[in-house]
Structure formats: structure tokens, C-alpha cells
Amino acid sequence: MKPIRVLVADDSTTLRSALVALLSEDPQLSIVGQAVDGVEAVEKARALRPDVITMDVNMPRLDGLGATAAIMAEAPARVLMISSVRQHRQLELSFKAMAAGALELIAKPEGGPEEMRRWGRKVAEAVRLMAEVPVVRRHRTTPVPMQMINHGAQADVVGLVASTGGPPALAQVLGSLPSDLPVPLLIAQHIAHGFTVGLVRWFSSVGNLRVAMAQEGDLPRPGCVYLPPDGCDLEVDAEGVLRTPRATGLHCPSGNRLLHSLARAYGARAAGFVLTGMGDDGAQGLLAMRQAGGATYAQDEQSSVVFGMPQAAHACGASRSLLPLESVAPAILELSKDKRAPGGARSRG
């Protein structure tokens, strides 16, 4: 098996040298180049054509956002953003870089040598996973007809699950929905610890919906989007009240846990969407929702950055159909249309 070719871009000599040394310990990885700023990162991406690029978000001459945008236009590669979670500007640039094509976010290390070694192993694992993701996305040009979306179901709540490629996909969906959306949206987006606040801020900026960190004990409100706090899952109890227990599973937050809870609490009045992502999280929760009579969908392969999670959901019979990303917002509107009508019920049935 050929080694994964990695380009490391970071203006900090200390961090760059440490990362190169740590990644070099992995026999599956080969460091093919280093860049000290964004301009050099673009030049070396063009010349070396690496499989994966680790990209510091804050660099001189050209920052990680600008470099990612240029690389995706000129020499597409899988970009792994490395950012401080303590600086708002870096968080903002990181999510914009994801919109430009970066696949994943990892927080910069804080602490001593042992923490640095753990961090290096985490980056190496992310690089190995990223190497499996196709670089070039295929786009569907024809939207799915609305009759394929309309199964006659109606929803009082919508759950959305995503992982790799999810933040820009979710941003597109949220930006296409009106501020008077008559149902709440609950999101389980796999995200590294420390990035949730930035994700909430970014989602708030893309449209007119109210985006918030879920508060334990709150009732979800129409027109609001809820994400769990760092390190927590998001679910609803039997009364439909938001709960944010500490995450204990492999995925954080757990898509299965969210969708299972919506199926239990709302039954046939729940809707669920499993979007782009690696692995199979969300498939069993979506299946439980479908078995309870809810409306269930998965993103199609053409519009997914990674088809793993939607494919798993579809393969087990959890999704009614596959939808291109641009049809997700229209589907949500279709599912909530009876609540938009004059006199439509606005509480759970």
C-alpha cells in the first residue's frame, strides 16, 4: 500500500517541526513538504500534489482560508484545518475554510510533551481517515421533483445528523429556510471539542433562523436551531424537553441518540435527515424513526462529500429516499407546511 503523502503548512517553526516529527512516526504517512505560510502552501500543493494538507488557519501573507480556497480551485486536495479554539477570528476563519472545501477541524495542542504526543496521534488518525475521502465532488444539476419529497407526512420537529462535510452542508440548508419556520431543528454534527461555539456563531450568520446551544430542560421552539454543548449529546425526553447528557459513545454528538429520542417522543410527527459523513452514525436512529412512522431521508451520493453515513442509513432501510443537498430545505418546508397554514397546530400532536 502506498503511503499517504502529506504537506504540513504552519508558520510556527516549533509546531511545524513537532507535527512533522510526530506524523513521520506513522509508517502509513509520508511528509512530502512543509510550508511556512499560505502562499507557499498553495505553491507546494500545485507542485507536489499531496494527498492531505494540514493547514494552520492563521498564517502570514495568506491565511488558511485564502490558501484553502486557492488550493481547491487550482490543485484540489484534502485539507485538515488546525486552529486555536480560544481566538474568535481563528474560529471564524476555520469555518469559512470548511465552506471553501476544508474537510475537518482539529484544535491546536495545549500542554506539555505528553499532550503533544496525544495530539500528534489524533492528527495522524485524522489524516488517515481524510485520505479515504474523494477529492473532487460531483454535483447534481437537476433537483429532485417535489413529488418525490412529499410522502404526505407532516412533522413537528426535524433532526439533522452530519459528520465530514457537514458544516457547509448544514449551513446551506439553514440559509435556505425562513425565519418563521414553524418547527424546531435539532442538529447532531460531529465536531472536535472546542469548536461548537464557533459553529453556532457561523450557523447564526448564514440565514435568519435563531441558532443556539441547547439548554438542559428547555422546550424546543419553532424557528430555532439547537446544537449540544461541547462534549455532550442532544436528545429530547418523553415530554419533548431538551436534554444534553455527557457523550459516552464513539461519536460526539451521537446522531443515533438524537434520532432515537425524537422517534420515542414524537413518533410519526418527527422527521430525520442523515447527511454527509464517514461511518454509520444516524442509521439506526433513522430506522427507529421510520419504524415509528416518521419521515426519513438521507443525502444522495452526488452531493455528499462522504457518502458513508447516508449510504448506511439507506442500506438498512431507514431512509424513504435519497435527496440531493439542495432538496433538503424544500423537504423540511414541505414537511412543516400544515403548521404554516392559518390555524395550523404549533404544538406536538
**Active-site amino acid positions:** 163, 190, 281
Q: CA 120 → CA 26, 62, 307, 310, distances in Å?
A: 10, 25, 27, 30
Q: What is the DSSP letter of 342?
A: T
Say which DSSP state 228 is in. P
Which residue(s) pair with 339 in the sheet?
A: none
Contact 212, 253 (CB under 8 A): no
Query: What are the cell numbers at 278?
Result: 464517514
Residue with cell 480551485: 73
CA gap 59, 67 in Å, rounded: 10
Q: Is the dihedral of CA 248, 249, 253, 257 positive or negative?
A: negative
How many whole angstroms separate alpha carbon 198 and alpha carbon 93? Answer: 10
Q: CB of 281 within 8 A of CB of 190?
A: yes
Helices 88-100, 64-74: crossing angle, 10 deg rounding: 10
Residues 6+ apart with CB under 8 A from 66: 38
Rounded Cα–Cα distance for residues 118 and 98 (Å):
24
Cell, residue 282? 444516524
Cα separation, 59 vs 205, whole angstroms: 24
For 79, the grid coordinates are 485539507
Q: Which three cell numbers, joined as nine digits, stand for 250? A: 464513539
Q: What is the CA radius of gyration of the chain?
A: 20
Ordered DSSP codes for 256-295: HHHHHHHHHHHGGGEEEEE-S-SS-TTHHHHHHHHHTT-E
Report the first-to-last Cα separation within the chain, whole angstroms: 55
